[in-house]
Amino acid sequence: MSTQTLFVLSNILGGLAVLGGYYWGITSFSEYREALWGGVHGALRTILTVSMLFSALGYLLFCYVSLFRDGLVNFNEVSNLGSYTVVMLVAIFLTSAALWMPSTIYYLKTQNSIWWIVSIASLWVTALALLALLYISASADIDSIGVVTKYLAIAGLASITFHCLVFDAVIWVILFHK
């Protein structure tokens, strides 16, 4: 199977897992909707919500560059790990992102600290996988991918990486128990 096909499948299946987990969590456990925000309130919640939208658009921009502007081929050439590096990182990113909602809900339901650890770990794995994708994209050869194309991918990944690393893995975690 080609890396492009695997990239598409990883994004479709992973995206459905993330969105499905959110749908399941919000519809099946509506009593935890507010608790899932942790200690995020007011203007910060608005900023996070807007950031979520820009993050999603940023990731879609990266996907566009990867699929339609030869980004996938060029990004994989940067890595010493082989031609499936980007696909593996995408799969890790989306799998760990899909774990956040269920693990946080189970933590809220049971107060079992293992679910809190899984929740935090999922946020950090998500952020680190995105950081690795950002590094690979930033390391791509400008001559083979084009300046504008490269910076579109970097801007898209930077947006979602910042959100997942700073807002989710750091700020949300710090504010959750306050």
Distance CA 8, CA 16 (A): 12
In one-letter notation, the amino acid at residue 95 is T
Is-above-0.75 flag for pTM?
A: yes
Residue 1 has what DSSP assignment? -
Tokens of 38: 């942790």
44: containing domain: 3-176
pLDDT the model gives residue 70? 66
Residue 112, classed as helix, strand or coil, is: coil
Q: Region of 111 please: left (phi>0), alpha (psi -120 to 50) or beta.
A: left
Residue 72 has what DSSP assignment? H
Note down pLDDT in tens along the chain; length 178 residues.
788 888 999 999 999 999 999 999 999 999 999 999 999 999 999 999 999 999 999 999 999 888 777 666 666 566 666 677 888 999 999 999 999 999 999 999 999 999 999 999 999 999 999 999 998 888 877 666 778 888 888 999 999 999 999 999 999 999 998 7
pLDDT the model gives residue 148? 84
Distance CA 43, CA 8 (A): 36
Total domain count for the chain? 1
Q: Can you spell out the DSSP letters for 103-138?
A: HHHHHHHH--HHHHHHHHHHHHHHHHHHHHHHHHHH
pLDDT digits (tens, 9 = 90+) for 36-85: 999 999 999 999 999 999 999 999 999 988 877 766 666 656 666 667 78
